Each structure stands twice: as C-alpha cells, then as structure tokens.
Amino acid sequence: MIENAKKQLIELLKNLGFSEDDAHFKREPISPNSSHRSTVVVNFPDGRKVCGTGVGQRKTEADIAAAQVALDLLHSDHPDLCVNWDEIKAEAQAGDALIKLGVYLWAELNNADEKSKILQSLESDAHLALVFDRWKREGDPDLAMWGSHLGKKRKATLVEALLWRRFGSQVIASDALPPLQSLLKTLQTT
C-alpha cells in the first residue's frame, strides 16, 4: 500500500498515463517559521480539472494534505478516473477471447496456419497499441481521459477491455453461460 496521499495521487496519474509532473504543486508559506499552504492542480486531456489545497507545518505535509483533498475529489466527482487495473485486465482477457473467436470463425481464412498468423498479428501488444493511438487520435470518448505516457502493454490491455465492453454482449448470448459451464466440466480431469 502506498503510504501517503501525494504518492497515491502520483501513482493514480501514472496509471492513467500521466507523469508526476502533471500534478502541479504550488507552495507558499503562511507565516514565517510556522506553516505552509500547498495547492495541487491536475488538468486532464478531456477538460476536467481537479484542485486540492492543504496546510501543514512543513512543505511536504502541506503537499500531502493538498493531494488528499485532490484524491477525495477524484473519488467523489470523477470515479471513472480512479481505474481498477485488475478489473480492466479481466475485461481484456475476455476481449482477447473475442479476438481469437473472431479469427477462428473467419470464413475467408482457409487453414489453421493462416488463422494463426492473422491472430498473432491482431493480438500483439504492438498492433493493439497502434489501434489505441488511432482511436485516441480519432477522438474516441472512452480514451479521452488517458494521458500520453501509457506503454504498449497498457494500451493493448485497454483496447482488449474496450472490445469486450463494446462487443461482448453482441457476441455472447445471454443463455451462453450454461453451455460454456458444461464445456468446462468436460475438460475437468477429476
């Protein structure tokens, strides 16, 4: 667990593809040798802005207090910015399964080698990162909140998760769970 609010805020920004420099702290002494005030401002690419102000005996304490206010505002006013990567990764695994299903059911592909080559190219992190970049350039609203410092793996994971969110219910029928559970039971060895 990250111990203080400033570090938590920086980690949250990194998870969204921002650098720690995107949290702009402005510090000022309130009175000589007594306390400090710090204000943090974070501007998101989709136009949202979060500010927090805090007071502390030292500059560091004031930064932590300001970051805590900003975190509280993020959680209450913009919960979508507080991403849960475990949840996104689970959706990405389902999105990856949809890619595989789409390729293996693709009628124009004649043999398993052809399907395997197409699958390897479509589900590679490098290719999916390019898809992310294209969608972002085209103004995809689901990507508006993400910063410009995401790596290929995170971009690929987000694309797979979005594929699941956008196509999962169209591909997987509401009554598919019982046959899939039956399929999994046939694979059990004990």
pLDDT at 25: 95
Q: In this predicted structure, what is the pLDDT of residue 66?
A: 96
| Other residues' Cβ atoms within 10 Å of the Cβ of residue 56 | 18
Encoded amino acid at 92, one letter: A
Segment 34-40 mean pLDDT: 92
Q: Residue 169 and residue 15: Cα distance in Å, rounded?
A: 27
Please answer whether residues 181 and 188 qualify as being in contact, where contact means their C-beta atoms are separated by less than 8 angstroms.
no
Which amino acid is present at 65? A
Across residues 44-60, what is the average pLDDT? Answer: 91
The residues near 59 (Cβ < 8 Å, ≥ 6 apart) are 27, 36, 38
Would you place residue 175 in the very low, low, confident or very high pLDDT band (cuts 50, 70, 90)?
A: confident
CA 64 → CA 47, 168, 182, distances in Å? 24, 41, 52
Query: Is the pLDDT confidence value at 187 over 80?
Result: yes
Cβ–Cβ < 8 Å for 157, 89: yes
**Of 80, 107, 59, 66, residue with least CA distance to 16:** 80
Task: State whether residue 52 is helix, strand or coil.
Answer: strand
Instruction: Supply the pLDDT for residue 7.
Output: 94
Predicted confidence (pLDDT) at residue 46 exceeds the cutoff of 90: no
For the domain made up of 5-81, the CATH class stated in words is: alpha beta
| Residue scoring higher pLDDT (99 or 33) | 99
Token pair in block for residue 186: 């046939």
Residue 1 has pLDDT above 60, yes or no: no
pLDDT, greater one: 31 or 77: 77
Q: Please report how many Cα atoms fall inside a 13 Å half-sphere around the Cα of residue 184, on the Cβ side.
A: 6
Give me the mean pLDDT over the 175-188 stretch.
Answer: 83
The predicted pLDDT at position 137 comes to 94
Question: What's the whole-number average pLDDT of the chain?
Answer: 91
pLDDT bin (cut points 50, 70, 90) of residue 2 is low
Read off the pTM: 0.80
**85: three-class secondary structure by DSSP:** helix
Average pLDDT of the residues in 122-141: 96
- Residue scoring higher pLDDT (183 or 7): 7
d(CA 152, CA 55): 39
Give the pLDDT confidence of 60-90 residue by residue, as tens digits: 999 999 999 999 999 999 998 888 899 999 9
Contact between 101 and 115 under an 8 Å Cβ cutoff? The reply is no
pLDDT at 162: 97
- For 97-120, give the DSSP string: HHHHHHHHT-TT--SHHHHHHHHH
Domain spans in the chain, listed from the N-terminal domain onward: 5-81, 85-187
Task: Calculate mean pLDDT across residues 20-45.
Answer: 89
Using left for φ > 0, alpha for ψ between -120 and 50, and beta otherwise, residue 139 falls in left
